[in-house]
Structure 1
Amino acid sequence: MEFTGGGRLEVRITAADVGKRVSVRYVTESAAPGEKFTDAVGVLTSWDAGVLLITRRTGEAVRIAESALVAGKTVPAAPARRRGPAAGFPELARAAARAWPPLESEPLGEWTLRAAAGFTRRANSVLPLGDPGLPLDAALERVRDWYAARGLPAYIQTATGAADTQELLSAELDRRGWTREVTAELRIAALAPIGDLDAAISAVRVGRGFDEAWLRRYQRFGEPGPHVTKVLGGGPSVWFASIPGTEDNAGAVPAAIGRLVVDGRWAGFMAVEVDPEQRRRGLASSVMTALARKALDEGASAAWLQVESDNHGARALYDGMGFTTHHHYHHYRWTGA
């Protein structure tokens, strides 16, 4: 990482650079043994009272004393992407939102308040794509009141790590006592290679609907109800896949399932679940390949999915399919009084 100007280390950033992506070198006790400095790259989200706050691509915040800086400069807003389809953050955020449609929504300026009786944070959180049309504290009060009126916790979904993402808003939420509960990655890939995978798809059943057996494999909800079926069945063009499994006390349970939403050029994969006793047998790949071929038939060319950052098994699978991380997203919950 080059910081020098005329052979000297230079700090070429100021508080006026808040909101820009920066690269800094600073003195730290946590550096590797024998080293004096460490580096940080991310968005400069504040510079106040002698302390810099830099938000990394993953959403991690790094606090650095101004007195510890030895070098710093602004850098391009986002690193060049080497793999996957070209995509901007707003386009992907809107496609992902359409794939998990709420039962009700309300605009707040350029923010969207979304609720679906509590099923999935994505359908029960604010999507803040722009200016709320109010001062931030007033907008947050409106958000809290709106969700409280529905008996729901107040969540705001933000993103970090790409051009036009919301590092500044994330830092403001953190400063105001909102708690980040979930961090996940939105990944993208070319669709055709997924459809071309050498995966066994003869046993995969693909259709427009799902049944109780499919839901028993999914199990990512509390009490089943119409709100669950409406969210899962909503979206521009929705497909469901399953691989027959074994019987349990309630009847047949699929060995693997998946859900696909086709939306223009995008094919979104979600709800890919496999019987824990049948993992590492290629069932997830079979489900995704079968769904990818449906999406290709509808004219889609690019794929996206969301995976939590600590789901190492799924991340390894998606790495092998060519998925790369476009940005990270986070759900902030109001936990204050």
Structure 2
Amino acid sequence: MSGLGDRDIGHRVVVRHRIPGGLTDVIGVLQSGTPELVTVRHADSTLYDIPVADITAAKQIPEMPLRPVDVEQLFLTAALGRPAVERAYIGHWLLRASAGWTGRANSLLPTGDPGVPVREALQQAEDFYRKHQLPPQVQVRVGSPQDEQIRALGWVDARPDQSDVLVMHTTLDHVNAAPKYDVQLTERPDDAWYAAAFEGPVPAVAPQVLEGAAKAMFASVILEGRVVAVGRGAMTGHWLGVDALRVVDGFRRRGLGTAVLQGLARWAGPEGGRRTYLEVVLENTPAMATYTRLGYQEAYRYRYLTKR
């Protein structure tokens, strides 16, 4: 393959080749290669088929290092990717309520300036959640100034027996390889998608939360005549957030979750996606191992606080 071999498939490469009027370089992940043709996958998921006869130079190059993450911005981005049913603000702080389904959709997100003293902002938050008949909760980045300030005012862990939640990130070119299964994408999930996404009854408010993002896509894999793996992707700026990733019992450890993630990543690239994030609880070691192997790294951790 003109300097490239099977060992290079799946790695970043640069391929210089002839085009009408001169030469050009293509940088991306080598997807496949034959004696006649190589295929390079760009970060935006575009595939470039390059005839070997036109290649003048080609080599493997180091993976693109992950750029530092603005964790405060990602903290807000993740919230916007899965908006709550009801929202209100205290300055820049975001209040969320969704009939009690999920912590993220029913907690205060303290980002930016509340515009009032923290004690007063928390009192307003308590009033908001009392009105919605919900326990007051704050989602805080572990070790952040807000975490320390709010704890100092008497708030404590809402879920002391649960580990931290990790938010992990990587670039799309690490996860937009061709899936080994056929991944179907739709803008509106059907009953079969929800049946696979939830082990039991679907919470009444779940469709409003999951389908509430400005730009979302729902992925599924069908085997043996049924939906066996699902996931949801939401675009916020150049970020793809992946959640609701689930493989039904009896079909796990086959790479189906990875395929769903890859299918969503390949949708996001042409939509302007460049980076991706997801969340995982610390004790979910199989998922942690999979995401790390795919190139995800920790951005931050979060917990929930409640009023003592």
TM-score, normalised to structure 2's length?
0.72
Match of 1:332 in 2: 305
Sequence identity percentage: 31
Q: Distance in 1 between matches of 2:103 and 2:158?
A: 14
Q: Does 1:143 align with 2:125?
A: yes
What runs of 5+ residues in structure 1 fail to find an aligned partner? 1-81
Q: Tell me, what secondary structure is at the counterpart of 1:280?
A: coil
Aligned to 1:212: 191
SS of the aligned residue for 1:128 comes to coil
Q: Does the CA contact (< 8 Å) of 2:86 and 2:96 recur in 1?
A: yes
Aligned: 1:276 with 2:249: yes
Q: Structure 2 vs 1, CA of residues 121 and 241 (structure 1 numbering), >3 Å: closer, same or farther?
A: same
Cα deviation per residue 1:20-54 (whole Å; 9 max; x = unaligned)? Answer: xxxxxxxxxxxxxxxxxxxxxxxxxxxxxxxxxxx
Structure 1 pair 310/144, CA: closer, same or farther in 2 (3 Å)? same
Aligned residue among 78, 81, 84 for 1:99: 81
Worse overlay, 180-189 or 230-239:
180-189
Counterparts of 1:120-269 in structure 2, within 5 Å, are 120-160=102-142, 166-169=146-149, 171-172=151-152, 175-177=154-156, 179-181=158-160, 182=162, 183-196=164-177, 199-201=179-181, 203-219=182-198, 224-225=203-204, 227-245=205-223, 252=226, 254-269=227-242
The answer to whether structure 1 residue 297 and structure 2 residue 277 are counterparts is no
Q: Kindly tell me: are residues 120 and 159 of structure 1, through their superposed partners in 2, closer, same or farther at Cα, counting changes over 3 Å?
A: same
Shift of 1:84: 2.2
Deviation at 1:110, TM superposition (A): 2.5
Q: Contact 2:195–2:202 (CA<8 Å) still a contact in 1? A: no
Measure, in 1, the Cα distance between the counterparts of 2:275 and 2:244.
Answer: 18
- Letter aligned with residue 260 of structure 1: G
Instruction: State the match for 1:118 in structure 2.
Output: 100
Aligned mates of 1:177, 1:267 — CA distance in 2: 32
Whether the 8 Å contact between 1:188 and 1:323 is mirrored in structure 2 is: yes
1:135 Cα shift? 3.2
Q: Which secondary structure state, in structure 2, belongs to the residue aligned with residue 84 of structure 1?
A: coil
State the alpha-carbon separation in 1 of the partners of residues 282 and 269 from structure 2.
Answer: 28
After superposition, the CA RMSD in angstroms is 2.3
Going from structure 1 to structure 2, the CA distance change for 1:299 and 1:221 (only over 3 Å counts) comes to farther
Equivalent pairs, count: 243
Amino acid at match of 2:173: A
| Contact 2:118 2:150 survives alignment (8 Å) | no
Whole-angstrom distance in 2 between the partners of 1:172 and 1:180 = 18
1:313 and 2:289 correspond: no
Structure 2 counterpart SS, 1:127 = coil
1:172-193 deviations in whole A, cap 9, x for unaligned?
25x4445345520111101112
Deviation at 1:302, TM superposition (A): 0.6
Q: Per the alignment, do residues 331 and 221 of structure 1 end up closer, same or farther by CA in structure 2, a change over 3 Å counting?
A: farther
Residues 100 and 152 of structure 1: is their aligned pair in 2 closer, same or farther, counting only changes over 3 Å?
same
| SS of residue in 1 equivalent to 2:87 | strand
Give the secondary structure class of the aligned counterpart of 1:277: coil
Which residue identity is paired with 2:210? L
- Is contact 1:85-1:188 (8 Å) kept? no
Question: Residue 84 of structure 1 contacts residue 323 of structure 1 at CA under 8 Å; is this kept in 2?
Answer: no
The one-letter code of the counterpart of 1:100 is: R
Cα distance in 2, alignment partners of residues 136 and 325 from structure 1: 28
Alignment check: 8 A CA contact 1:195 1:292 kept: yes
In 1, distance between residues paired with 2:105 and 2:128? 14
Alpha-carbon deviations, 1:54-78, whole Å to 9, x = none?
Answer: xxxxxxxxxxxxxxxxxxxxxxxxx
Question: 1:259: how far off?
Answer: 0.3
One-letter amino acid matched to 2:280: V
Distance 1:257 1:178 in 2: 31
- Amino acid of the structure 1 residue aligned with 2:232: R
Q: SS in structure 2 opposite 1:142?
A: helix
Moved more, 123-132 or 216-225: 216-225
Structure 1 counterpart SS, 2:250: helix
Q: Contact (CA 8 Å) 2:100, 2:106: kept in 1 or not?
A: yes
Distance 1:281 1:223 in 2: 25
CA contact (8 A) 1:256 1:272 kept: yes
Cα distance 1:108–1:154, how it changes in 2: closer, same or farther (>3 A)? same
C-alpha distance in 2 between matches for 1:294 and 1:99: 16
Q: 1:220 to 1:147 in 2, by over 3 A?
A: farther
